[in-house]
Structure 1
Amino acid sequence: MSLEIRTITASEFPDWTRALDTGFLRPPVTSDEVLADRLAHSDLARTRGAFDNGRCVGTLRSFSQEITTVGGAVLPADAISNASVTPTHRRRGLLSRMMYADLAQAKERGDAVATLIAAEYPIYGRYGFGPAAFITEWEIDVVRAGLDPRRPAPDDGGRIDLIDGAEVRGTGPELFERFRTGRAGTVSRDERWWRIHTGVTSNGHPWTEPFHAVYRSAAGEVDGLVTYHSADGMWGDRKQPLNTVSVRKLIATTPAAERALWHFICSIDWVTTVRTDYRAPDDLLPRYLPDPRAARIVTQADYLWVRILDAVRALEARTYGVPGTLVLEIHDKAGLAGGRFRLDASEAGASCVPTAESADIALDVRELGALYLGDESALSLAALGSLSEERPGAAALTEALFRTPRRPWCPDVF
């Protein structure tokens, strides 16, 4: 058989989409309307396929993205998505060939990091990705939460207003730009994201119109936005409605706005259960409730994975917990970000340069990706044997430099 890896043409896009849907166990038929929209928003120079005698049997696509790093700076990222291999062609190295071709192109293009949401944990570490941000999903027993139903409105002078999708597209992007500078791990949203999430553009999935609400501060500033929907409720033995509200997205730029939106959601008549969206593991939600135990964790998992492509740019872009100097030996079998680097961190900023000095720590590029946004522990990695301490005390210094008080969070899938 002749197996070929290359970028695709517009005429091959339907076959590529069929292979993608097959790999993800979705019906391998897509409407012409959805195909046309996907094609219009796909960069074919970054859309790769694996072909067996002309038939697409593997897919991978990437696109431009920005990611917020520790301290609020944004970095250009190579966002990887739609990675699949048809079941008949597994274990032949097709994903590896597509992935390494994309990463090499991203490095040449000038992207500092690559990102992805890993469908399966064991796959992406071998390409240099490390789990950099985790998510937690809660289910709230509204009755147990203990909120006073007579006081659903904010008590800080702000207010909650219901709005429609058009208003979301008008106010949401500006709010999100303010929000994303304050949370490491957040990735950029383009105009199409807002159109898909307000039902204007189809992504091939059935659309159910949700509810949207904003929090306005006492000064009239929109500081928070929540999108939610409710499944049909059940009626108990005494004809008591038992509805569940599922939050699709909730972002806020202040704790007051976040608290007010959660209290609003939990005060809606007939609602006895609230299912959250994917939140940061250290989200304040449980502590906004009089009884934090009313929020039960139902999902906790790795989510955003990061792959360093340019160690100097990536390490200089973020801030650090303490001043200090660290020499890192980075191993990268792909040859994209490896080498020995001296990192000097101070209140004025960070400097990272190649060096011939003796290394303080040695680690694979995948562990650097896990450390990068401040969520992983260098001391834990050392205990696991995934980070080598070449100088006594270096692992503790790495911990103090890289760890952050708040955990990173990526609210979006891509």
Structure 2
Amino acid sequence: MTSRAAVDVRPLTEPEFADWNRAMNIGFLREPTSSEEILEARRAQFTPGRSVGAFDGGRCIATFRSFAQELTVVGGATVPADAVTNVTVAPTHRRRGLLTRMMERDLAAAKERGDVVATLIAAEYPIYGRYGFGPATSTTEWTIDVPRTGLDPRRSGPEDGGRIDLVDAEDVRRLGPGLHERLRRAQPGAVSRDELWWRITTGAVRFHSTFHEPYYAVYRSAGGEVEGMAAYTADDHWGDAKQPLNTARVKWLIGVTPAAERALWHYLCSVDWVVKVKSGWRAPDDLLPHFLPDPRAAAVTTQADWLWVRILDVERALGARTYGAAGSLVLEVTDGGGLSGGRYRLQASADGAGSCARTTERADLTLDVAELAVLWLGDESAVRLAALGRVREERAGAARQADALLRTSRRPWCPDIF
């Protein structure tokens, strides 16, 4: 077995990219070797210094990449984030501390850069809590049984004066970014998308050899404004009695008004031959079931944690968001990574504005930085975490006060995977 010291963890150089990409493919159980076309497409994500590899005998055996991102917080402000992705360790080199070395290097650099948080989508739940990450949003997928919805099968379009149009990939690249900006500025937990994201999702840049072009539907209001967009695919399945039993799968759906969301879901349930609609990853309190005359037609088929957050700057993180009530709370934050620990006073005013600063006052609540991340976007209850032993009250009633300050009327949601 190669010793820990003999494995070199360092930033990737461009000539090593193919070897790094092969290691990443193996880690994700994909076909190891990528075509030159796919390699060239993936190089578009290469940022010097932010793609890291672990090398044993000159061969890459672990991968790690981060990139710049913006995360929307409660109230609509955004904070700079260090988005972590492409994390793998070869099965031959597990349990040697390689992920820890790569993660510590990246988080220290993010802290030095001035990023407020780090983010990731966790493939496995138990891995990232030990680095200070906590699950800050969750996601739900529904499967709609179209015949049970109660919708009129003769329906021909929205009843609000709007319209649905089918468009092509070029239209999506033109209309999508502005629409998404409107969504993410209003949705806590949403993250930024760059131009490359839109090129990848529409197939202009292809990371996989099996890209299947989806259908794209756009909703325009009665005034002609684009307020919603969806990408979906459909299979080709027929029953023994020559009955169509097709399933439509939503890749993503953006709606900046309830009318747009309603129109797009009704449209998807009206496509000929489609008897089931898979909603894709949605907010856990999405309005989808209640857009249907019979909400039971939409059954929850997946519910899980989604966006994980690691707070790097407690003062800026708590100062960026707004609050549901006036009040003051002193938090004792523990941080095994040594990046954000300390005692902080959170002060919220009646208009929702908040500020946070270090203090020597007695703490009201003690919690790990990972639990602070769970509470930060308003999705979890401090009272629940206290019952689970994950938050400790130093003053009676402090957890209930934290809920009054931090919890939100609508749950945070991250529409993206990265």
The TM-score normalised by the length of structure 2 is 0.97
Aligned partners of 2:228 and 2:240: how far apart in 1?
Answer: 34
Q: Decide which moves more: 337-346 or 148-157.
A: 148-157
Amino acid at match of 2:281: Y
Aligned to 1:209: 213
Q: Do residues 401 (structure 1) and 405 (structure 2) align?
A: yes
Give 1:205 deviation, angstroms. 4.3
Instruction: Find 1:148's aligned residue among 141, 146, 152.
Output: 152
- 8 Å contact kept, 1:226–1:261: yes
Amino acid at match of 1:66: E
Q: Do residues 15 (structure 1) and 1 (structure 2) align?
A: no
Aligned to 2:260: 257
Give 1:33 deviation, angstroms. 1.8
Give 1:401 deviation, angstroms. 1.0
3-state SS, counterpart of residue 187 of structure 2 = coil
Give 1:41 deviation, angstroms. 2.2
Give 1:312 deviation, angstroms. 0.6
Q: Decide which moves more: 400-409 or 109-118.
A: 400-409
Aligned partners of 1:220 and 1:43: how far apart in 2?
Answer: 40
Give 1:240 deviation, angstroms. 2.0
Aligned to 1:29: 33
Q: Do residues 298 (structure 1) and 301 (structure 2) align?
A: yes
Aligned to 1:185: 189
Q: What is the CA RMSD across the aligned residues, in angstroms? A: 1.0
Aligned to 1:267: 270
Cα distance change on mapping 1:203 and 1:125 into 2, 3 Å: same
Give 1:50 deviation, angstroms. 1.0
Instruction: Find 2:90's aligned residue among 86, 90, 97.
Output: 86
The TM-score normalised by the length of structure 1 is 0.98
Give 1:236 deviation, angstroms. 4.0
Amino acid at match of 1:342: R
Give 1:52 deviation, angstroms. 1.2
Give 1:11 deviation, angstroms. 1.1
Give 1:150 deviation, angstroms. 2.2
Aligned partners of 1:78 and 1:252: how far apart in 2?
Answer: 27
Amino acid at match of 1:206: T
Aligned partners of 1:149 and 1:71: how far apart in 2?
Answer: 40
Aligned to 1:363: 367
Q: Decide which moves more: 136-145 or 228-237.
A: 228-237
Q: Do residues 344 (structure 1) and 312 (structure 2) align?
A: no
- 8 Å contact kept, 1:338–1:365: yes
Amino acid at match of 2:376: Y
Q: Decide which moves more: 344-353 or 354-363.
A: 344-353
Instruction: Find 1:328's aligned residue among 331, 347, 353.
Output: 331
Identity %: 62
3-state SS, counterpart of residue 306 of structure 2 = strand
Instruction: Find 1:310's aligned residue among 296, 313, 336.
Output: 313
Aligned partners of 1:54 and 1:303: how far apart in 2?
Answer: 35
3-state SS, counterpart of residue 168 of structure 1 = helix
- 8 Å contact kept, 2:140–2:284: yes
Give 1:270 deviation, angstroms. 1.3
3-state SS, counterpart of residue 115 of structure 2 = coil
Give 1:327 deviation, angstroms. 0.5
3-state SS, counterpart of residue 322 of structure 1 = coil
Give 1:249 deviation, angstroms. 0.7
- 8 Å contact kept, 2:324–2:352: no
Aligned to 2:133: 129
Amino acid at match of 1:153: G
Unpaired runs of at least 5, structure 2: none
Instruction: Find 2:243's aligned residue among 236, 240, 245.
Output: 240
Aligned partners of 1:229 and 1:372: how far apart in 2?
Answer: 35
Aligned to 1:283: 286
Aligned to 2:376: 372
- 8 Å contact kept, 2:63–2:89: yes
**Which digits, 9 at most, give the CA deviation of each residue in 1:144-165, with x for residues without a partner?**
0110122241111111111111
- 8 Å contact kept, 2:203–2:211: yes
Aligned partners of 1:351 and 1:336: how far apart in 2?
Answer: 20
Cα distance change on mapping 1:40 and 1:242 into 2, 3 Å: closer
Q: Do residues 319 (structure 1) and 326 (structure 2) align?
A: no
Aligned length: 413
- 8 Å contact kept, 1:152–1:263: no
Instruction: Find 1:164's aligned residue among 168, 171, 182.
Output: 168
- 8 Å contact kept, 2:319–2:356: yes
Aligned partners of 1:348 and 1:30: how far apart in 2?
Answer: 51
Aligned to 1:174: 178
Give 1:4 deviation, angstroms. 1.5
Give 1:348 deviation, angstroms. 5.3
3-state SS, counterpart of residue 234 of structure 1 = coil
Aligned to 1:74: 78
Instruction: Find 1:5's aligned residue among 5, 9, 19.
Output: 9
Amino acid at match of 2:395: R
**Which digits, 9 at most, give the CA deviation of each residue in 1:51-88, with x for residues without a partner?**
11221111100000011111111111000001110001
Amino acid at match of 2:369: V
Structure 1 stretches of 4+ with a deviation exceeding 6 A read none
Aligned partners of 2:385 and 2:125: how far apart in 1?
Answer: 17
Give 1:172 deviation, angstroms. 0.5
**Which digits, 9 at most, give the CA deviation of each residue in 1:102-145, with x for residues without a partner?**
00000000100000000000000000000011011111100001
3-state SS, counterpart of residue 224 of structure 1 = strand
- 8 Å contact kept, 2:217–2:230: yes
Give 1:40 deviation, angstroms. 3.1
3-state SS, counterpart of residue 296 of structure 1 = strand
